[in-house]
Amino acid sequence: MVVGASSAKLMRLRAGIGQAGGCGARVGKGVASAGATTRARDSAPGVGFAALTSALHSGSSGSRLGSLLRKARPASSSTALRAASSASSVDSVSERMAKLKEANTCALIPFIVAGDPDLETTALALEALSEGGADVIELGVPYSDPLADGPTIQAAATRALEEKHTTLDDVLAMLKKTSPKLKSPVVLFTYYNPILKKGIDAFCAMAKDAGAAGLLVPDLPLEETDAIRQGCEKAGLENVLLVTPTTPKERMSTIANASQGFVYLVSLAGVTGTRTSVAGNVEGLLKDLQSSTDKSVAVGFGVSSAEQAQLIKSWGAEGVIVGSALVKQLGESGSPAEGLANMKALLAELRNAL
């Protein structure tokens, strides 16, 4: 495939981030080897994404990203998106979040990794999450160099890739069979390389055809999301963007304006994973972000218990995202059946807390 100027610039940018953070993503036609997951996990996983989030989302003039900054176009309410939402029996992400906000209800947004422990169990897990009270579901596409993810999700991706040989096409085929049974809109969580390999428009069309309602790409800076958002709008998807603790207030507003569905507030400058507590500065970050947008804000990264979810809700968050704790229950139990049971039990605790 021919890589355009914007994608080529992204490749150069990523190379710089990898050198700075010690955990660079490899971008190109092929997907990097699955063994890189283990290497990334063993080499201080918090360092790589801390550097990445600072470079991608802070807009610091001292970073290589700073020279690329330009004003991003605000997200538009496309005719295609409205038509797709009204034609579907399941709400779009923004519709679901708006209804919950109007009802003063905090959204529960679980995350799982497709293919761990296997795709058959993933399909059952999606149904269980939808039936168990998930308002929106994030479905992670397993990737070999998941810079945003900590040991639990990295290990799940490794199992899906190395043990089950799960491919993007496999994930989309499973979702296409399962999505008609779901009551919750599904947001695909994937890194940019698989999208680049398929082609943006082709990938978005495939994701929509499979039943996805949204797309979240954590390793793209705001300035490189125009093409993704255009592809999403053509296909009828919503593109969720992230704000981090290092994001300046002015940039928060720009990201929130461009984000669709909801705004994802990363609670810490590090990778995903269970934590014993939620950082105290999250409440202030949440207030700052909410002061710049009317869109729903969901808090994720490091949220693993009902008590933490309840605390975040008390701070006024419109959504709580829980990933690693559920991924661990589903993928690291004694059997797929036991994993499903453990995942359901934790989901029930989280739902009751909200």
Show which residues are catalytic.
138, 149
Give the span between the Cα atoms of 225 and 222, in whole angstroms: 5
173, amino acid identity: A
Per-residue b or e along 240-269, where b marks 16 or more CB atoms closer than 10 Å to that residue's CB: bbbbbbbbeeebbbbbbbbbbbbbbbbbbb
DSSP 241-282: EEE-TT--HHHHHHHHHH--S-EEEE-SSS-----SS--TTH
Cα(212)–Cα(179) distance, integer angstroms: 8
**Integer angstrom CA distances of residue 256 from 88, 230, 251, 279, 280:** 26, 17, 8, 22, 22
Are the beta carbons of 91 and 99 closer than 8 angstroms?
A: yes
Residue 220, token pair as written in the block: 């793209």
Rounded distance between C-alpha atoms, residue 194 and residue 144, angstroms: 11
- Give the contacts of 55 (CB within 8 A, at least 6 positions apart): 16, 17, 20, 21, 63, 64, 65, 221
Nearest partner of 9 among 74, 70, 75, judged by Cα: 70
Residues in CB range of 36: below 8 A, 6 or more apart: 26, 144, 145
- DSSP-derived letter for residue 90 is S
Q: Which of 153, 71, 169 is nearest to 119 (CA)?
A: 169
